[in-house]
A and B are shown apart, each in its own frame.
Chain A
Amino acid sequence: MRYLLVEDNIQLAKAVSDRFGLEGHAVDHAVSLSEAKEFMALTTYQLILLDIMLPDGDGRSFLRLHRVNKNKTPVIILTARSEVSDRINLLDLGADDYITKPFDFRELEARCRAVLRRQDGLADNTLQIAGTILDTLEGSLKIGDKVERLRNRELRLIEIFFSSPNKIFSKNHLMDRLFSFSEEVSENAIEVYVGRLRKKLEKSDVRIETIRGLGYRFVVEK
């Protein structure tokens, strides 16, 4: 999916873009409202991440204009202001959600997913490897005629595997992607989720392989 990030803090923007890149999304970064408008004239985005305070204006006026133009692309506001005063205002102006800086990237990702899920008639959100189809928004796994519902962490884990089949992911890497920093988890926790996924993938033509001492990888059964 293609996201537009409007943010004047370069480091923050770069980190966010990198993270979304890992999840397999393309992010265009605009540092000002005028640049954002230019980007939007060129292509269509599935989601806009909008900072409120920008060098050439207030993100809220951009948002108002965005809604007046009947542009349906969902907008998530990134704000560093106090939530109590801004919160109602933002949603009234037509923001689909907002997140307060500094944020945990996992939370931002979850909010993006929730906003996109509410959006109807989106482009294809499914990933397919062999005969297994993953719907990233629905959170479902389709194996033949059978549909398996996935819980949040299971979905995020399988998305990582789907993005790069055959690549070896270390336990550490997977943990960083799955658990927030405030959670104290042991390395074994990842095994629980891998175990659950394996159970759900039993009847499929893909499986998660353990590479001793290195981690896991996703392979298609011959």
Chain B
Amino acid sequence: MTLIIQTGSIQRRLALQLSIVAGILSFTLFMLIQVVAERAAMDTQDNILKASAASIADALYTENGIVRLELPYSALSMLGTISQDRVFYRVLFKGETLTGYDDLPLQNENSLTNKSKFSTFRYKGEEVRSISLKRSIGVNGAFSDAVIIVAQTRLGLNLISQKITRTATAIGVVFFLFGTGLSVWAANIALTPLNRIAIAVSRRGPKDLRPVTGTSPLELKPLVDALNSFILRLKSSLLRSEDFISEAAHRVRTPLATVRTQAEVIHRSLNKSKNKTALREMIRAIDESSRSAGQLLDHAMVNFRADQFEVNTVNLPDLVRDVCERLSPLAGLKDIVINIQSQESDMSFQGDTILLQNALRNILDNAIKYSPDDSEISVNCFRNEKFVISFQDSGRGFSGIDHTDRFTRGTNVSDVIGSGLGLTIANEVAIAHGGSLLINDSKKGVGSCVSLVLPI
């Protein structure tokens, strides 16, 4: 029945999209923290290196035309405080190593200005950060350049960087989780009005044709308006068909009633048996067409009602008694006695009263029609695994007619008036209630048993 293929959920999609945004934001945040923090850590190391190199440079002095260096302890200890890093240094004067590791690489001397220059490279199997500082030193009135190189391994920095990465990751993850949570919540909140309308529409019964009311957000207004106008049209269309069926019945039956009555009056005044027989045939034809029209309209009404089921609690024995009482004058005309047997007085069933009544009436009407004079129809209302209402008559039965054919329009036991719709209607009502109509056929003269079986 579903014509709409369900393609995902707006809420899930919205939440997912917001989560992706949260993910991107979290990653950016992570990168930012990482870069900024590492830069800060590196700047710190560079500053210490610079201070160290400067203090070494400050310790250079000339004595008797020779450049000397009293290496200040603090110059290296300030570096050592960071961690277990190793520190290398080299002091050159006029291109010759005064002290320190003489293989500590020297930057291109020309590129060195008076300012310091930082660089990163591998030395003795480890990555080091170094500073080269140029300082002019006057010896015997002539100035020459001394270069101080201080290098430090980056263990400490890497440690800090790892710590920063961990923290940044933690912050990123927390931010992401928080963001995702917010996304789900936001998606939920955003779709609340939609859900509310969806639930309000899906909860209503089939007969509930009131317009959808309550608040609706601007975006849903066209949808709700369309739904309401559709409901309105459906309502008026349903009312029209119900009116039409009633009106059609009225229009067909009123003139038939006049014709029949006139025919009956004439029939009474006739004396010739030949004319009487002819008129009798005519009245029978009128009865047949009236009955057919009635059943066709009933059939239309049953189909119409079965589409928009109205469920209420029906006490089956009461309903059976009502229907039997209603038809007993008709049965009395043929001296037929209707016997009702009900196993228990309380058998509540959820169904459409009018449809069930119509089904029972049609079955009983049928039974009366096919029963001989002075006979008996037993109506049994009981419960075994299901609710069963059976009508046992002593008519001629349905022999010779396929049972499934009994339920289609127009099949009939020959030479009996009727459109054969009675049991079709009963069968449709049974199916609409999730039950079935059973016919236990008879041998000739024993009668047949029609049962309406309804689920409990």
Contacts and interface: CB of A to CB of B under 8 A. Distances in A.
Interface stretch (A101-109, A120-128, A129-137, A211-219): A101-109
A16 interface: yes
Contacts of B328: 114
B262 interface: yes
A163 interface: no
Contact of B335 (A12, A53, A151): A151
A217 B302 CA distance: 50
Contact of A102 (B246, B256, B268, B373): B256
27 contacts: A9-B254, A9-B257, A11-B261, A12-B257, A15-B264, A18-B265, A81-B249, A81-B250, A82-B297, A82-B301, A84-B297, A84-B302, A84-B305, A85-B246, A88-B354, A88-B357, A100-B294, A101-B257, A102-B253, A103-B257, A107-B330, A114-B329, A152-B334, A152-B335, A176-B268, A181-B280, A181-B284
A81 B329 contact: no
Given A88-B353, A104-B287, A107-B330, A153 B335 contact: yes
B33 interface: no
A113 B330 CA distance: 11
A85 B257 contact: no
Interface of A: 9, 11-12, 15-16, 18-19, 53, 80-88, 97, 100-107, 110-111, 113-114, 151-153, 172-173, 176, 180-183
Interface of B: 242, 245-250, 253-254, 256-262, 264-265, 267-268, 273, 276, 280, 283-284, 286-287, 290, 294, 297-298, 301-302, 305, 326, 328-330, 332-335, 353-354, 357-358, 373-374, 417
B407 to A, nearest CB: 19
A102 B273 CA distance: 24
Contacts of A84: 245, 297-298, 301-302, 305, 354, 358
Nearest to B268: A176
Main secondary structure of the interface of A (DSSP, over half): helix
Contacts of B247: 81
Nearest to B253: A80
Nearest to A185: B373
Nearest to B280: A181
A103 B253 CA distance: 10
Contacts of B259: 102
Contact of B253 (A88, A101, A104, A183): A101
Contact of B256 (A86, A101, A107): A101
B258 A11 contact: yes
B287 A86 contact: no
Contacts of B250: 53, 80-81
A107 B254 CA distance: 17
A85 B245 contact: yes
A173 B267 CA distance: 10
Contacts of A173: 268
Given A83-B358, A152-B334, 9 more contacts: A15-B261, A81-B246, A82-B301, A84-B305, A87-B357, A107-B330, A114-B328, A114-B332, A153-B373
Contacts of B335: 151-153
Contacts of B268: 173, 176
A143 B273 CA distance: 38
A-B residue pairs, 8 tightest by C-beta: A102-B257, A110-B329, A101-B257, A84-B301, A15-B261, A80-B253, A82-B249, A102-B260
Contacts of B264: 15, 19, 105
B249 A80 contact: yes
Contacts of A87: 354, 357
A82 B246 contact: yes
Contacts of B249: 80-82
A11 B254 CA distance: 11
Given A102-B286, A104-B287, A172-B273, A80 B333 contact: no
Contacts of A81: 246-247, 249-250
B354 A80 contact: no
A169 B280 CA distance: 20
Contacts of A18: 265
Contacts of A102: 253, 256-261, 286-287, 290
B453 to A, nearest CB: 22
Contact of B254 (A80, A113, A153, A176): A80
A86 B333 CA distance: 25
Nearest to B325: A114
B312 to A, nearest CB: 11
A128 B381 CA distance: 42
Of listed B242, B261, B358, B417, residue having the most chain A CB within 10 A: B261
B287 A181 contact: yes
Contact of B326 (A12, A19, A97): A97
Looking at A83, A103, A104, the one whose CB has the most chain B CB atoms below 10 A away is A83
Contacts of A176: 267-268
A139 B273 CA distance: 32
Given A85-B246, A181-B280, A107 B329 contact: yes
Contacts of B254: 9, 80, 101
A80 B333 CA distance: 22
A131 to B, nearest CB: 27
Contacts of A97: 326
A93 B182 CA distance: 61
A113 B328 CA distance: 11
A84 B280 CA distance: 29
Nearest to A170: B271
Contacts of A12: 257-258, 261
B333 A180 contact: yes
Contacts of A100: 253, 294
Contacts of A180: 333
A88 B256 CA distance: 24
